[in-house]
Structure 1
Amino acid sequence: MIYFYALFALFLAVTGTGTVRAGLQVWRNQTPPGWVARPNPVFSEPVWHGVRRALVPMGAFQWFLSSMVLAVGIVITSDRAGTPTPGPMWANLLLWLAILGLLTSGWVAFSVVAFNRPQFLVPRHLRDQLGSWTAYRQRA
């Protein structure tokens, strides 16, 4: 079972790395990968612009989620008899740090998408855009 957790954590870490790399290309005002550049039919245009602005916090969210999955896989173990045992202290600490980082990066990503705030976490050339929530309120 731990192998499943480890493979899933690896998948999340790889996708998080790809998301951060795309976000850094947006920060440098370079051409981002195709999946970021083309419009997404699932989201409205203001929300998709917000997602492009928040790629770096979203990648951090995926990294924290990856470390949380790995820590859960280590903490929720059982001995040979099948009785659950608490994991090592470092795995419990990693789990709590991952939960804290997950909450923080999730709220930061939401704030960048919805309100375009805090400004220092938004690429310079995108700071004058409206957040998706503000654009929705102005449209209505």
Structure 2
Amino acid sequence: MNIVDLLGIALLALVGTVFLRFARRSWREGFSFAHRLRLMPVTDGYKAGVERAFGVQAAFCYLLGTLGVAELAIPSGKHSAPVWEGVVLAALIVSVLLSIALMLTIIWFNRPRFLVPPHMRDQHGTVSFRRR
């Protein structure tokens, strides 16, 4: 095990926890994090999209960290790994890719609505925001 790998996994866990706390506060209190995102060098529509996707971003960080742990746990010197290890890795990779796709659809189109905080469901996605 490499110390850099472990630090990367710990960083993903920390960032995922921060995103989860932001998402929880946004869902429960209707709190806006626009003041914290003001330094991002992107458009206002994209900033709002990032804020809408905090929950999915937390899931992405946790899934990516879990994938890193699974990669470290599987010995690399094996020539024939058990089938279940391949299935677990494939499921984690598909889950990471699905979370990326969900993040982008929430940012671009504000869909699916059930993953967006209730006070932000009426906003336009960045793609429809640009059309106006």
TM > 0.5 between the two?
yes
CA contact (8 A) 2:106 2:125 kept: yes
- 1:100 pairs with 88, 94, 97, which one? 94
> Partner of 1:11 in structure 2?
11
Equivalent position of 2:42 in the other structure: 43
Q: Distance in 2 between matches of 1:39 and 1:112?
A: 20
Normalised TM-score (structure 1): 0.80
Distance in 2 (CA, whole Å) between partners of 1:54 and 1:2 is 32
* Equivalent residue pairs, number: 131
Question: Alpha-carbon deviations, 1:25-75, whole Å to 9, x = none?
Answer: 111235466x86341331110000000000000110111110111112223
For residues 54-112 of structure 1, the C-alpha deviation after alignment (integer angstroms, 9 at most, x for no partner) is 000011011111011111222353xxxxxx22566554443222111101111111111
Matching of residue 70 in structure 1 with residue 63 in structure 2 = no
Could you state the TM-score of these two structures normalised by the residue count of structure 2?
Answer: 0.84
Residue 103 of structure 1 aligns with an amino acid whose one-letter code is L
The 2-side partners of 1:116 and 1:26 are apart by: 15
Residue 67 of structure 1 contacts residue 94 of structure 1 at CA under 8 Å; is this kept in 2? no
Q: Is the 8 A contact 2:37 2:47 kept in 1?
A: no
Considering only aligned residues, what root-mean-square deviation do their CA atoms show, in Å?
Answer: 2.3
**Distance (Å, rounded) in 2 between the aligned partners of 1:17 and 1:67:** 14
Q: Which has the higher contact order (CA 8 A, sep 6+)?
A: 2
Larger Rg: 1
Whether the aligned pair in 2 keeps the contact of 1:12 and 1:65 (CA below 8 Å) is: yes
Letter of the 1:6 partner, please give it. L
Listed as ranges, the gaps of 5+ residues in structure 1 are: 78-83
Amino acid at match of 1:101: S
